[in-house]
Structure 1
Amino acid sequence: MRNRWDIWTSVTGIAFALLAVLLIIPLGRLLWASLLGDDGGFTLKHYRAFLAYPYYSRTIGHSFLVSGLVTLAALVVAVPVAFLLARVDIPGKAVLKSLAILPLVSPPFIGAYSWILLFGRAGYVTTLLQNVGLTIPTVYGMHGIVLALTLNLYPFVLLMVAGALQALDQSLEEAAQGLGSRPWRVFWTVTVPVTMPSVLGGALLVFLTAFADFGAPMIIGEGYQVLPTIVYSLFVNEMGGNPAMASTGATLLVLCTTAILLVQYWAVSRKRYAMTQHRPAPPVRPRPLVRGLLTGCAYLVIGLSLVPALVVVVTSFFESRGPVLYPNFSLGNYREVLFNVPRAIANSFVLSSVSTLLDVLLGTLIAYLVVRRRSLTTAALDSCVMIPYAIPGTVIGVAFIVAFNKPPIVLTGTFLILLLAYFVRRLPYSVRAGSAILHQIDPSVEEASISLGVSPLKSFAKVTARLMLPGIVSGGILTWVQTITEISATIFLYFGAWSTITVVIYRQVSSSNFGSAAAASTILLVAVFIPVLMVNWMMGERAVTAV
């Protein structure tokens, strides 16, 4: 009989304790702060004030409008390209799929910054057109936010829909055609319903990410406030005072994202489709002219999404004189960044590496509990672990400030508050990566080790963990990438010497020091793209799921 209080029971208890301290308590304190009156009693006056004051309340509508437009634009752009990648024989398809992943790991605020370089008031394209007598609107405002986020997030839809189309059994469509259905009817009655969960899943990821994004609206919005930016403004304005309004805005942000998740879950659960893949549909090879046009469209869309990164890299080598960049090759921007803020760069790498290591260690253990030791307790643990995935970084930042700025636990102003925030926010990535690889490993391998007298813990360490290693490494790299590009929680929690490279980029853009911002952004992009390309090489098609 298994010892009831074995090592895995202890791991379960430790995981619940960490989630309680770093997630449940901060969120509970955040909610309580929004409900606490000046006299210490329960009140809803902060919510009434937030909703009654148009400057605050309209940010909710702005957030839904921007996120809705970004999601719609992403669907319009991504679904046709996904169909081309899955069903049409176009050259360089493998390269396109690899390139399509890159915008997802490039921070949205870098994309927003690059569009300012191109279409800002003194942008290259704006200046060029003004020289020939043409005037165009600047990129600032809602349309700039939508542009930056669409080109950054559309790969969520593209990759998920392309994967669903490739997994679609050809016999389903052949059966419909055999019954007399025309191709368009087959498409609408078979292909679309079967791929709809992937379409909705990709759309949900785009909507939630756009809804919670702080960096792009803050940099390119120029007065167009959304919920994450108004929460930041309220927090900054109330430093040293009552953070009730900031807590109220953060709580509303959580309620909105939770409602979105519930609606998506309801929509997907209404219709479920399952199949066993026998024969995926072979790619169609159209006539040369049509093939050339379709290939050009696919390359155009994916190439356009890479423009922000290319613009940032190129301009980082321009000569910088204040806010003006001259197209003369220079390494001055890199010298300035490496000389002035080396500590911020080091902070980013150290904090990201340590938090990723903690995520991988605990995430792997939790994944084992969830997959191999199923119970009501581990199911509850799995649900709790996934909560940070739906919580915007802005909320995590405010919640940690509210929870850990007074005894018994005081973390504000220390590196620990950043480290723990990164750890709890990115833990779901490691858990999901570990769970995915565990589902592919036959439990009998570990059972055989135990039957030979090896303890369960040693069997896990020597057998199961080694078999999980490719998934653990890949999930760890992706966790690290998401951590080092974090800005929405960092902007609340950093203090003095514990600034990070993302904060440096934000401050440099805000002060119109575009040369240093470009150099710092390039350092960040290189640090991000190299490990992502490694993941893509290691995992192949599974990289889509991992991202």
Structure 2
Amino acid sequence: MDHRNAVLGRVAPAFRVWVRPLEALSQPFSWLIVGLTGILAFLALYPSLFLFYGSLVDEPLGVPGHFTLQNYANAFLDLEAYRLMTTSFIFGVGASGLSVTFALILAWITIRTNAPFRRLFELTAIIPNIIPPILISISWVLLLNPSNGLLNVLLMRTFGLEKAPFNIYSIPGLIFVEGLILTPLAFLIIAAALKSMDPALEESAKTLGSGEFGVATRITFPLMRPAILAAGTLNFVRAVESFDTPAIIALPARIDVFTTKIWREALGSFPADHNLAAAYGVGLLGIALVFVYLYRRFTSQVESFSTVTGKGFRPHQIDLGRWRYSASAVALLFLIMMVALPFVILILTSILPYYHVPTWETWQTLTVKHYGYVFQHERVYRAFGNSLFLATVGATLCMLLASLTAYITVKTKIKARGVLEALVFIPWAFPGTALAIGLLWAYVNFPIPIYATIWILLIAYVTRFLPYGLRAVTSTIVQIHKELEEASVSCGAGFFVTFRRIVLPLMRPGIMAGWIILATIYMREFSASIFLYSPGSEPLGPLLFFLYIDGQHGPMAALGIVISVVCTVLIAIAQRFSRWEAR
């Protein structure tokens, strides 16, 4: 037996779980796989099963009931149900279409043209990913509220209008704000496709006499179609499952989409109807699963449309001539809507004694008392402590599970690796509101007292965002050559020693970057938290919401600025770890 076979022969029994069960179960590594599979299955399937259970019984939360389909009949077999589905579909299509359109224009300007400041625009385009989505929604309400929105009042004063030109409390307003929130995600997908496109085909078309418009319509955009469709389907799912924007805009306007309907049934009515909320959650989950499947299909087609070769190349750049400044102006307009206006109105609101449209006299009354509220009020301290606990412990647990799963799925050949990856990505299709309802049903009678504690929030965070951690660490582990592990095993080290001394140190940059990204997401999570928090365990997302609906706009804006600064610092640290990993 040669050296390679000797090494593989030493570790093979640990990997033949399904071929030789009795022998495999005597190995510690096999017990690790069994335990990890059990944990992932519990996290992914337990709330899913109870979501279905809650939708199929006739008794309220925590009470044994009898089988019934009446909840589905009440949810989907009347005129209101068709109106709900139509509105949700219009909202999803409109927001995803708008985000893809904005992202496509912005990516084309920053990647494929010689527009001035295009590098700055490219970096700025992802800033909205740092800001909590609920803050962006609130900022646009403060800007376009028909009664005292800053932009509406300024336009009315400037042009002598008697009525506000814009009404944010409408379906177009809902679509506009959600489209802006989703634009950075679509931009990342489309920009990556543009950067990786070999310009040889475009140059050949130009050689044959095609103009820039013909090249774009016949070559560039057809090659980008899978990426555009992938961004569109992904953003449709994100829009339909979103509760941040609907909570701020749709609820006051009495516009019902799936997430607001779930909220009304579970929290916004008395008595609460968690059975009907579960039925709506199952419907929302079904829609999400269909479009996640389409997203996976479209992303798999990206490889079929790949034009990247082994030769180095630079993306084809279009000389816009005198129009390059106009292109920069268009990109700047998008970034003003996505970044500048929300930040300006939040900063202004945080230093006004009370929210109003400022006048010249206002500048003499500016105050920082709202920041004093943020740093002194016990309610804020408690929410910060809860979010810090959830971010620290949740991100640590998530990256631990993600690291083990990534190692098994990438570095081993056991048949269970596909099952592990599937279990991780099931929650990726789970809307936050539907997951929250499933967790309420799952843990209300759980033997361990988890219901109505901070621990149910921790379970929700780890379950929902585990795929993000897996993606972060997988990109690192694929770069670790197997010879390093084989050398360790040949020196007598077992799996756990090899993993701890060889693999884990090499994975550290990816683990740290993933940990920081997850901590940032946890610090601003809202959709699941609003359903699962209990008095004393509320994190920052629900606190922002309650400060806003209580009319405490100044403290809300000040707290939002502080959260955004903290998240920005965390993302900057993550970028440093990413650059370290690249070296």
Tell me which interval the TM-score lies in, with the shorter structure as reference length: over 0.9
Asked if 2 retains the 8 angstrom alpha-carbon contact of 1:110 and 1:308, the reply is no
1:129 corresponds to: 155
2:373 corresponds to: 336
Q: Which amino acid aligns with 1:31?
A: F
1:411 corresponds to: 450
Distance 1:405 1:293 in 2: 58
Q: How far apart are 1:71 and its partner, in Å? A: 1.2
1:26 corresponds to: 47
1:319 equivalenced with 2:384 (yes/no): no
Q: Which runs of 5+ in 2 are unaligned?
A: 1-8, 14-23
Aligned in 2, Cα 1:333/1:185: closer, same or farther, shift over 3 Å? same
Distance 1:334 1:182 in 2: 56
Asked if 1 retains the 8 angstrom alpha-carbon contact of 2:140 and 2:342, the reply is no
1:532 corresponds to: 571
Q: How far apart are 1:111 and its partner, in Å? A: 0.8
Q: How far apart are 1:227 and its partner, in Å? A: 0.4
1:104 corresponds to: 129
Q: Which amino acid aligns with 2:69?
A: L
Q: Which amino acid aligns with 1:335?
A: G
1:35 corresponds to: 56
Greater shift, 62-71 or 328-337, is seen at 328-337
Superposed counterparts of 1:204-283, under 5 Å: 204-221=233-250, 222=252, 223-237=254-268, 243-266=274-297, 272-277=304-309, 278-282=311-315
Which has more radius of gyration? 2
Correspondent of 1:479 among 509, 518, 521: 518
Distance 2:177 2:347 in 1: 18
1:512 equivalenced with 2:551 (yes/no): yes
1:306 equivalenced with 2:306 (yes/no): no
Distance 2:115 2:578 in 1: 22
Q: How far apart are 1:452 and its partner, in Å? A: 2.6
Q: What are the Cα deviations for residues 493-531 of structure 1, in whole angstroms up to 9, with x where unaligned?
A: 111111111111101111222111101111111121122
1:81 equivalenced with 2:106 (yes/no): yes
Asked if 2 retains the 8 angstrom alpha-carbon contact of 1:478 and 1:532, the reply is yes
| Secondary structure in 1 matching 2:426 | helix
1:153 corresponds to: 182
Aligned in 2, Cα 1:270/1:285: closer, same or farther, shift over 3 Å? closer
Q: How far apart are 1:416 and its partner, in Å? A: 0.8
Q: How far apart are 1:211 and its partner, in Å? A: 1.0
Correspondent of 1:389 among 428, 440, 444: 428
> What TM-score comes out, normalization by structure 1 length?
0.92
Q: What are the Cα deviations for residues 41-83 of structure 1, in whole angstroms up to 9, with x where unaligned?
A: 4322211111134344422221111110011111221112211
Distance 2:430 2:529 in 1: 14
Q: How far apart are 1:92 and its partner, in Å? A: 3.3
Aligned in 2, Cα 1:103/1:7: closer, same or farther, shift over 3 Å? farther
Asked if 2 retains the 8 angstrom alpha-carbon contact of 1:89 and 1:283, the reply is no
Aligned in 2, Cα 1:137/1:172: closer, same or farther, shift over 3 Å? closer
Distance 2:255 2:581 in 1: 38
Q: How far apart are 1:270 and its partner, in Å? A: 6.5
Greater shift, 327-336 or 32-41, is seen at 32-41
Q: What are the Cα deviations for residues 442-496 of structure 1, in whole angstroms up to 9, with x where unaligned?
A: 2222222222323232222222222222211111111111111111110011111
Q: What are the Cα deviations for residues 203-246 of structure 1, in whole angstroms up to 9, with x where unaligned?
A: 22221111111011111122111101110110015677652101
Distance 1:240 1:11 in 2: 45
2:496 corresponds to: 457
1:170 corresponds to: 199
Q: How far apart are 1:186 and its partner, in Å? A: 4.1
| Secondary structure in 2 matching 1:396 | helix
Give the fraction of aligned pairs with identical amino acids, expressed as a percent: 26
Q: Which runs of 5+ in 1 are unaligned?
A: none
Q: How far apart are 1:368 and its partner, in Å? A: 0.6
Q: How far apart are 1:323 and its partner, in Å? A: 7.7
Correspondent of 2:508 among 454, 462, 469: 469
1:353 corresponds to: 392
Aligned in 2, Cα 1:108/1:241: closer, same or farther, shift over 3 Å? closer
| Secondary structure in 1 matching 2:255 | coil
Distance 1:84 1:355 in 2: 39
Greater shift, 372-381 or 184-193, is seen at 184-193
1:490 corresponds to: 529
**What's the Cα RMSD here?**
2.6
Asked if 1 retains the 8 angstrom alpha-carbon contact of 2:109 and 2:118, the reply is no
Asked if 2 retains the 8 angstrom alpha-carbon contact of 1:109 and 1:216, the reply is yes
Q: Which amino acid aligns with 2:151?
A: V
Distance 1:514 1:524 in 2: 15
Q: Which amino acid aligns with 1:274?
A: S
> What TM-score comes out, normalization by structure 2 length?
0.87
Distance 2:356 2:72 in 1: 41
Aligned in 2, Cα 1:337/1:182: closer, same or farther, shift over 3 Å? closer
Q: Which amino acid aligns with 2:84?
A: T
Asked if 1 retains the 8 angstrom alpha-carbon contact of 2:117 and 2:328, the reply is no
Matched residue count: 543
